Amino acid sequence: MRVTETRVAVIAALRGLPHAPADAVYGEVSKTLPTTSLQAVYNVLHDLEAHGLARRIEPGDHRSHYELRVGDNHHHLVCTSCGAIADVDCLVGAAPCLTPDDAHGFAVAAAEITFWGECRDCRQSSHEKSPTVPTHT
């Protein structure tokens, strides 16, 4: 892989923004490389993924997010309200974490698990928005 300014900037952006969608990466990269295009960032992300340097995750119908943490069989917690993503370590310490009852003859190499729920921030803000004591005026 050739080292280009854009590549270096994309990797730096992903270090600061784990699980970032391409446009957020572009937002970061354009701070240091104002001439970069979103398409150039997409191309770099695609290259990084193709070379195993970045991982693309698409939880549910969320758009693609990219991260630099690759090859450790980790999983994700995804917030059903705001889409925040957090890492969960490999559940049993080695891939695959789960084996199907019937693998249909497949040699199972990996299992990717998404845990869905409300993140701490959303739980706190929904708590604030719905007071338990009704107010009378």
Binding residues for Zn ion (CB under 5 A)? 67, 69, 79, 81-82, 84, 87, 119, 122
Question: Minimum distance between the CB of residue 133 and Zn ion, rounded to whole angstroms?
Answer: 25
Is 48 or 79 the residue whose CB approaches Zn ion more closely? 79
**Least distance (Å) from Zn ion to the CB of residue 69?**
5
Burial class, 90, CB count within 10 angstroms (exposed 0-12 / middle 13-18 / buried 19+):
middle
Q: Which CB, 44 or 79, lies closer to Zn ion? A: 79
Q: How far is CA 105 from CA 73, 84, 99, 109, 131, in A?
A: 22, 36, 12, 12, 53
Q: Which is nearer to Zn ion, 37 or 81 (CB)?
A: 81
- H helix intervals, the chain: 5-16, 22-32, 38-50, 120-129
CB of 55 to Zn ion, least distance (A): 7
Residue type, 137: T
* Between 13 and 33, CB nearer to Zn ion: 13
